[in-house]
Chain A
Amino acid sequence: MSELALLYNFLAIGGLLFALGLIGFLVRRNMIVMFLCAEMMLQGISLSLVGFGRYHNDWGGQMLVIFIITVAACEAGIALALILMLARRAGNLDTAAWQDLREDGQPAFLDRQVPEERLEDRVWPHLTPAGSEPPRDPERELHRPRV
């Protein structure tokens, strides 16, 4: 295929990766997954850069990609360290646990609560009882030798 078409393919996949990463970053609440999405954004960019490098026959594209990968690795180290600390503090990996840096007077973002179980919902199915009930001796039941 022509160089241009190749470039289009590169850019398409790169853009797809970026878009997925962006949407994932914005939507997910798990800190590690958010970080993974950020890395995916970076990979999408890298792919676009490689494609441009190939198109313009310039090694600069790939060179920058090497830089990006390196930087992404360093950033991963730092980010995971931070996530580790935050997770230890909160006990879970939810970003919604860390929203205290908001303005005075703003309400916190709360998850929709699961409604309390109502007493009348506590209904379990019952099987029809089979067999006959043995005779019961209340006096003997009162003094059971082995409990």
Chain B
Amino acid sequence: MDDTIRNCLVLIPALPLAAAGVAALFGSKLLRGYSHLPVVLALIGSFACSVAVLREVASRQTVGTDGGVEEVVSLWTWAEVQQAYYLEPNPPAVEAAEAGWRNFRIEIVLRADALTAVMLSMVTFVSSLVAIYASGYMAGDRGYWRFFAYIGLFVFSMTMLVSVSNFVLLFVFWEAVGVCSYLLIGFWYQKPEAAAAGKKAFLVNRIGDFAFTAALFLIWCTYGTLNYHDSLADGTTDVAELARVQSLPPGESPNSGESGDGKQLIRGVLGKSRIAANGYATGPLWKETNRETNKLSIATAICLLLLLGACGKSAQFPLHVWLPDAMEGPTPVSALIHAATMVTAGVYMVARCTPLFAVSPAAQLIVAVIGGFTALMAGLIALTQFDLKRVLAYSTISQLGYMFLALGAGTFAGVTGGMYHLFTHAFFKALLFLGAGSVMHAMGGVIDMRQFGGLRRLMPWTYVTFFVGCLALSGVVPFAGFWSKDAVLASVHEKVHAIDHELEHRRGTHPGDSPAAAGPLAAWSESDLVRSRAIYQWLYYGAVFTAFLTAFYTFRALALTFHGAERIPAQAGHHAHESPPVMLAPLAVLAACSVVVGVACLIPPNLGANRIAELLSQTPSLAAGPIVLTKVVPEFHLSVAGVGTVAALAGIGLALFLYLGPTSEARYARRLFDMDGAQRWTDPQWVAGLERVGWIGASTRFLRRVGVGWAVVLVGYALGAVALVLAVPLVVAGFLTPYRLSRDKFYFDELYGALIVWPLRLAAAVLAWIDRWIVDGLVDLVGRIPPAIGTLMRPLQMGLVQFYALAMVLGMLILVATRLLWSG
């Protein structure tokens, strides 16, 4: 049994790596058009192994506090530095018994538990489908073999990222997926936009990675280890051995007579023993005693830094700017990396570090706020985009915001809800992207929706699958998106209810008579409770509004692309036909999954329970500690589901009303939001000309006849004054109408360009000047000294024999004189 898991865990990343190597070495000359074969076969093999691991983990899990499966496989030791850091005792994070010198030891260690198994299955499944699709999409491209080599490398990095059991290795593969993303976005490197987009993605990711590194340093200094799992100091992870060491009475050395403490128990950061003892540091970040105590606890610091790292990778505010530009890469890349796998690495990391986040409710609140804000902002931007892939990119950012919102709810329901949404979102977002790729392939590379339309007769299968994807994304019953979005909304709703419950208990107004459960909320202060309740409530409303927006822009994109008059741009040429079967088959499979996965994961009769949550509920890093006291399985609230469905249907209805058929209403809406003609209100002449309008003129004349003409004049002056007062904001609004804010991505790129890029470029130019003229000038100056000396010495060689003889004689005279005068 153990061997199955061990072999599968090693095979899952090893197969894509080997395939990438084969494609890289033999692709350009030998395999050429068949370069996809090793990669596709390897990915299918990886998927089979992932399913095996998932089945193994699911079958061995039992319900109960210690029923979780956690298998750790250690391959070899990468680095070891003896006695690297002295760990101060700091209960409860560092007990007195485990303080002292710690070795820095990094082993290549893989783990198999429920969270990893779910992620691996999803990643390998989507990757294999995308690879099959890409073999059709990228056919004929000059860099065909290079593409598949990069895909293999990427899947290797991603599977290792979710399999490793150590923070340093997580970071290594975090960077590796970033590198692969850079390589794949800039795949067509001769296109300057693609190269710039790749560079931008990598640099923005790097900012997040810097924060991640700082978090790693803090974790090392606080906990003295970087492993997730418990182990002994010499690296043993055997469960029996760990149990033996743990069962020793305190004070007794775990070594049976041997010297050194190679058998000391090192509690992993997310290990079972640490979670059971709730051994997480909550002290202040700095240990200054003569200053007033700072409110920033070390747990919050670690969590915020980890969050910033996750924001960089998962494109949340403020580091979301790279994802829309990353659409310059080939569409299979967008589907794989920027919808299903790489951007979910941030969500995975936050979910994995749930015990760390559970100690810091402030950090959880910030996670939720960032998630909710990003979801809303991205939804607003997606409303007005014309590029189909950009719409889907902002949709991805928005849905990732949903996942962070769920994770930030801080309850077990939230964590599982977020992961469930991640799981289903991978399917329908990849489906939508691949459908967009199908459209782009047929339209000869044009993806601007203004240039084509009415494609549903030209590409019927693409239309059907895209429609299914849209329904799933909008969250319509019974598609997958409905259940997962409901889980997210329900978890936020539940959090509000839980806070309400706690407040009632405190104030003694609880209707029942049971005492307050010792939940994690018991430690919060009253003002904290009230404030966070308000925040979560507003986040809930924002999430519902975002659901409305999601449905709206999704169906807007569908209507603009597939409905209306059939228009085909000139670049399409002879491409304008349905895609080949090798591209349609993955679309069909993903569409089937989007329909079925939600329903398949249900566990009736409780419609709120799902198999994913059940599976994840026993993940050891999630199944213990304070978080388990929160609701394990969210109940199905009809109100939440109903509100969500109403929002989705309203969005769909509005989008179809505006964009099906003649789009005059849409144009009117655009003019309204662009505040076209709002300038008129600041023009007093025009305001005075209002008198010509029928009913205003008639009423004015009537009032004048009655003798209240002075009132008319007063009203006129009042309107003029209002116009003058409004002049300034409206003039500003002339540049910043809501429509323009949405269309131009809230000017984030320009803001960052002015604040960050421009000063850096200036500094770089100054330094380049210094380097060229001052540093190089000094070096050149030193370099010019020998020629100068040479120019002085050159006249000595004049070609006359007698001059040389004279020089010899003079030299001899100097020698003789020196000898005579100074000897003695």
**A residues 1-55 with Cβ under 8 Å of B?**
22, 25-27, 29, 34
Q: Does A132 touch B at the CB level, under 8 Å?
A: no
**Chain A minimum-CB-distance residue to B793:** A103
Give complex CA distance A27, B809 in Å: 13
**B799-A106 in contact (CB<8A):** yes
Give complex CA distance A79, B629 in Å: 113
Q: Does B794 touch A at the CB level, under 8 Å?
A: yes
Question: How many whole Å from A57's CB to the nearest CB in chain B?
Answer: 27
24 contacts between A and B (CB under 8 A): A25-B805, A26-B802, A26-B805, A26-B809, A29-B802, A34-B801, A95-B801, A95-B802, A98-B799, A98-B801, A99-B798, A100-B799, A101-B797, A101-B799, A102-B797, A102-B798, A102-B799, A103-B794, A103-B795, A103-B798, A105-B794, A106-B794, A106-B795, A106-B799
Q: Which residues of A have CB within 8 Å of B63? A: none
The total of interchain contacts (Cβ-Cβ below 8 angstroms) comes to 40
List of 9 A-B pairs having minimum Cβ-Cβ separation, nearest first = A99-B799, A102-B799, A103-B797, A103-B794, A102-B798, A95-B801, A99-B800, A101-B799, A26-B802
Give complex CA distance A102, B795 in Å: 9
Contact of A26 among B794, B797, B798, B806 (CB under 8 A): B806
**A96-B797 in contact (CB<8A):** no
Question: How many whole Å from A6's CB to the nearest CB in chain B?
Answer: 24
**B798-A106 in contact (CB<8A):** yes
**B797-A106 in contact (CB<8A):** yes
Question: How many whole Å from B660's CB to the nearest CB in chain A?
Answer: 86
**Chain B minimum-CB-distance residue to A22:** B809
**A95-B800 in contact (CB<8A):** yes
Q: Which residues of B have CB within 8 Å of A124? A: none
**B residues 793-824 with Cβ under 8 Å of A?**
794-795, 797-802, 805-806, 809
If A105-B794, A106-B794 touch, whether A25 touches B802 (CB-CB below 8 Å) is yes
**Chain B minimum-CB-distance residue to A109:** B800
Q: Which residues of B have CB within 8 Å of A105? A: 794
Q: Which residues of A have CB within 8 Å of B800? A: 95-96, 99, 109
Q: Does A108 touch B at the CB level, under 8 Å?
A: yes
Question: How many whole Å from A92's CB to the nearest CB in chain B?
Answer: 15
Give complex CA distance A32, B415 in Å: 109
A contact face: mostly helix, strand, loop, or mixed: loop
Interface size class of A (residues with CB under 8 A): 10 to 19
B contact face: mostly helix, strand, loop, or mixed: helix
Give complex CA distance A106, B798 in Å: 7
Q: Which residues of B have CB within 8 Å of A22? A: 809
Q: Which residues of A have CB within 8 Å of B805? A: 25-26
Give complex CA distance A101, B798 in Å: 8
Question: How many whole Å from B10's CB to the nearest CB in chain A?
Answer: 71
Given contacts A26-B806, A102-B799, 12 further A-B contacts (CB under 8 A): A22-B809, A95-B801, A96-B800, A98-B799, A99-B798, A99-B799, A99-B800, A100-B799, A103-B794, A103-B795, A103-B797, A106-B795
Q: Which residues of B have CB within 8 Å of A103? A: 794-795, 797-798
**Chain A minimum-CB-distance residue to B797:** A103
Q: Which residues of B have CB within 8 Å of A109? A: 798-800
Give complex CA distance A108, B802 in Å: 14
Per-residue interface assignment for chain A, residues 79 to 112, with 1 indicating a CB less than 8 Å from any chain B CB and 0 otherwise = 0000000000000000110111111011011000
Give complex CA distance A34, B800 in Å: 13
Question: How many whole Å from B411's CB to the nearest CB in chain A?
Answer: 87
**B806-A108 in contact (CB<8A):** no
**Chain A minimum-CB-distance residue to B791:** A105
Question: How many whole Å from A102's CB to the nearest CB in chain B?
Answer: 3
Q: Which residues of B have CB within 8 Å of A100? A: 799
Question: How many whole Å from A86's CB to the nearest CB in chain B?
Answer: 11
Q: Which residues of A have CB within 8 Å of B799? A: 98-102, 106, 108-109
Question: How many whole Å from A88's CB to the nearest CB in chain B?
Answer: 18
Question: How many whole Å from A63's CB to the nearest CB in chain B?
Answer: 25
Q: Which residues of A have CB within 8 Å of B797? A: 101-103, 106
Q: Which residues of B have CB within 8 Å of A98? A: 799, 801
Q: Which residues of A have CB within 8 Å of B798? A: 99, 102-103, 106, 109
Question: How many whole Å from A104's CB to the nearest CB in chain B?
Answer: 8
Give complex CA distance A100, B515 in Å: 114
